[in-house]
Amino acid sequence: MLAEGKPQVTGLVLFKQFYAYGKLEVVFSLAGFPMESDTSPRAIHVHENGDLSDGCDSTGGHYNPWKVNHPQHPGDFGNFHPKGGNIQKFKSNLRATLFGPQTILGRSVVIHEQEDDLGKGNNKGSLLHGNAGLRLACCVIGKLTTIAITKSGRRRRRRRRR
């Protein structure tokens, strides 16, 4: 879902976790950031709800099942710097999980307009959401079972072994 009047950020966010107590990994392949703001970091977070009925505004707050101050909650992925209007980034050892009662499946990923101050802003908003600004784009976190994504970002069907 894209915010009206804002940069048209599109792409893929792919999560991978092999078993319940394994570390979560994510690949961001995003495009559409304004070239003139290439030096501006963008915050990316998991938000509570997978509800896009009112665009990114209906995704709720940052996913924070432990009720801890920012940036220690599992919904905080930090800041990413666009290059050439794109973010291509692999990140591992995330605090979030795809398994159990605290799964992020069915929640949302939100790309923010500004940098996350990582809880150092000396105000309530900083501890809650990092003062990351408006929401540029978002998506619901779902589950893929039979589709693989090639390095170029194209989908391809997996062949089943017989």
Name the residues annotated as catalytic: 45, 47, 62, 70, 73, 76, 112, 135
Beta bridge partners of 67: none
Strand 108-112 with 42-47, pairing: antiparallel
Residue 101 in tokens: 């009662």
Cα–Cα distance for residue pair 59/128, rounded to 1 Å: 15
Q: Is the distance from CB of 113 to CB of 6 less than 8 angstroms?
A: yes
From the list 5, 23, 4, 3, the residue with the least C-alpha distance to 98 is: 23
